[in-house]
Amino acid sequence: MENEPLIDEALKSELALLYRAEDRHYHSLAHIGAMLALAEEYRRLLHDRSAVEAAIWFHDAVYDSRAKDNEAKSAALAEQKLSGRTTPERLAHIAVMINATATHQLPPLDDEKATSDAALFLDMDLAILGAEPDAFDAYEKAVRREYGWVEEPMWRTGRAAVLRSFLARPHIFHTAEFRQHLEPRARQNLERSLAALEG
């Protein structure tokens, strides 16, 4: 059971439908594809690649920009759909990783390997912050479209608070690999975006 991929083609098709919803401008299949590509790129560092890939596929499965419990609902969906496909312990690790995307703080896990995988997973999810300026700007526009119902002054205040909270952290990324490659540009992108929001 452990060696089988957790996400089969039927489940991929089912999840792909959710990611193709019209109101998804950033949290779409393209985002999942980008994260899966990073999982492939960093596969030598992953201890349980199948579990990380399952977390990638499910982490934004439920996405409503008006809701506050998307991560919890996505984790619950993962537990429901993957029940019987793997051990309860592994399923718990997947759920913990998904829930951690609510804050992008490293979750408390009793297992060093699971913690390492969670750190990489969270960094993959935030890799866009350290993208080239054009790609980062396109991401910002896409997220704004997902929150199209929020009036501009409220959006600026809320988004600025989110960006400031990331900038206030000692490190945006949890792993040495991502810090080395993406941290400086992520800070530049966030500072530039913050200046535009507050300008």
Q: Which residues in the chain land under pLDDT 50? A: 1-3
Q: 48: exposed, middle or buried (C-beta count within 10 Å: 0-12, 13-18, 19+)?
A: buried
Q: So what's the pLDDT on residue 2? A: 47
Instruction: Kindly report the pTM of this predicted structure.
Output: 0.95
Q: So what's the pLDDT on residue 1? A: 41
Token output for 47: 């201890």
60: helix, strand or coil: coil
Please report, as a single letter, which amino acid is at residue 70. Answer: N
Give the number of residues written for the chain: 199
Q: So what's the pLDDT on residue 154? A: 96
Q: So what's the pLDDT on residue 35? A: 98
Q: So what's the pLDDT on residue 4? A: 63
Q: So what's the pLDDT on residue 199? A: 82
Contact 42, 177 (CB under 8 A): yes
